[in-house]
Amino acid sequence: MECFVLCSIQTARWHSVFLSISLLLITYLMTLQRGNTGHGECERTEDCRATIGTEMETQLPPHEGDELSVVDMHTGGEPLRVILSGYPEVKGDSVLAKRRYVREHLDHLRRALMYEPRGHYDMYGALIVDSELPEADLGVLFMHNEGYSTMCGHAVIALGRFAVDYKLVKEPQSLETQVNIHCPCGLVKAFVEYSGGRTGGVRFLSVPAFAFATDVTVTVEGFGDVTVDISYGGAFYAFVNAQRFGLDVTKSRTRDLVDAATAVTNAVKSQVKLHHPTSDDLAFLYGTILTDGNDDYSTDPTANVCVFAEAQVDRSPTGSGVTARVALQYHKGLIQLNQTRTFQSGATGSRFTGKAVEETKCGDFKAVVVEVAGRAFYSGVSRFVQEADDNLTHGFLLNLDGGHKF
Ligand SMILES: O=C(O)[C@H]1NCC[C@@H]1O
């Protein structure tokens, strides 16, 4: 009897321990099933994910000020961050005046979008603005790691698609839709392929391009006297065969190519005075393009690497650089009108084509209209925010040689 009672009590104890463990286990499993997210209304993990997804689309995290929304694209690997919202009104009665305005009053937004943590050293951006030209479909300001460019071919190729896809121009009627883009250097005409409801490759006719000076000798720190050509394709570039530095644009270390090109840029900036017939705003050296030296006409591709702004490396063959290089080749009698050449990026191997299509003038310079063609792709959309107590929110660049830049 005594044993029966004791044994019953013991059995009851075991039952209650078993029951408690079971309850705990069931609660734990239910929590797991709910995703343990705090979204009590969703019963299953998939429902919770869907709920979070919907909320992510509509709800921003804690922040102060306006969000900055963008569409990210790339052309031959070179990024283009197209800014959709977040900028205040850009004042100025011309695209060039607007470029001066953003440099003086809104540069913190360039740094926020181009620099880390939202961008990176080699990020590139486009801000769509109104144009004073009646024939322009849109105006654009270009931005990079140092400031604001006057021309950007890879961006024009991407913006051509963007303008059609985002209905900045009327519905495409034919296999090619024209988009007139007013860049700081002038009106650039882009032609966007359109078929089966999708936009595709883009060709553009740039502003008059000309050889500014050939066989100019400058003294380059670390390399001695170097002979360069200087040409304009909406922006000024110095051109040098990479062999001069014992380098190969497709095989050498990018660091070595950047160092040589940057040294040339510094030398030309300090030793050669540039001028442009239509505006002083255009009269500056944007960068140096190292080439493989294959400038005689050939159906084979010719490679180059463009180092522009503050030692920024173009992943694409550089639309404005191709324009300037074609003008230089034409000036030297190495190519004829309508002879198409293929230009390959030494950085990624991506390709553009380029040809001179018409002779023209730019002030006293004999110039050519150059057509460049390439293809851009979409890579994403983002909504960026800033928190007032984040002291890195305005952007910074990590300097590999030490320190950082804000
Ligand atoms: O394609 C271009 O013309 C541009 N790419 C980056 C540097 C140049 O602005």
Instruction: Tell me, in angstroms, the distance from the centre of ligand 1 to residue 61's CA.
Output: 34
Q: What is the amino acid identity at position 185?
A: C
- pLDDT in the model for residue 60: 94
Residues 45-85 pLDDT 10s: 666 566 666 665 678 999 999 999 999 999 999 999 999 99
Return the minimum-mean-pLDDT range out of 19-28, 289-298, 316-325.
19-28
Q: How is domain 210-374 classified at the CATH fold level?
A: Diaminopimelate Epimerase; Chain A, domain 1 (3.10.310)
Residues 232-281 pLDDT 10s: 999 999 999 999 999 999 999 999 999 999 999 999 999 999 999 999 99
Q: Is the pLDDT of residue 165 over 60?
A: yes
Q: What is the amino acid identity at position 404?
A: H
Q: What's the predicted TM-score (pTM) here?
A: 0.88
Q: How is domain 64-182+195-200 classified at the CATH fold level?
A: Diaminopimelate Epimerase; Chain A, domain 1 (3.10.310)
Please list, in sequence order, all residues whose beta carbon lies within 8 angstroms of the beta carbon of residue 347, skipping any fewer than 6 positions away: 77, 254, 305, 313, 314, 315
CB of 149 closer than 6 A to ligand 1?
yes
The complex's ipTM? 0.99
Measured in whole angstroms, how far is the alpha carbon of residue 185 from the centre of its chain?
18
CB of 245 closer than 6 A to ligand 1?
no
CB of 139 closer than 6 A to ligand 1?
no
Q: Is the pLDDT of residue 208 over 50?
A: yes
Q: Is the pLDDT of residue 4 over 90?
A: no
CB of 318 closer than 6 A to ligand 1?
yes
Measuring CA to CA, which residue among 315, 312, 295 is closest to residue 240? 295
Q: Is the pLDDT of residue 41 over 50?
A: no
Whether 64-182+195-200 shares its CATH topology with 210-374 is answered yes
Contacts 24+ apart (CB under 8 A), 89-98: 90/127, 90/129, 90/141, 93/132, 94/132, 95/129, 95/131, 95/132, 95/139, 95/140, 95/141, 95/182, 95/183, 95/184, 96/184, 96/279, 96/281, 98/129, 98/139, 98/141
- pLDDT in the model for residue 396: 95
Domains in the chain: boundaries: 64-182+195-200, 210-374
- DSSP classification of residue 242: G
Closest residue by CA, ligand 1 atom 6: 314
Closest residue by CA, ligand 1 atom 5: 318
Over its C-alpha atoms, the chain yields an Rg (Å, rounded) of 29
Q: Which atom of ligand 1 is nearest to the CA of 151?
A: 9
Q: Is the pLDDT of residue 183 over 70?
A: yes
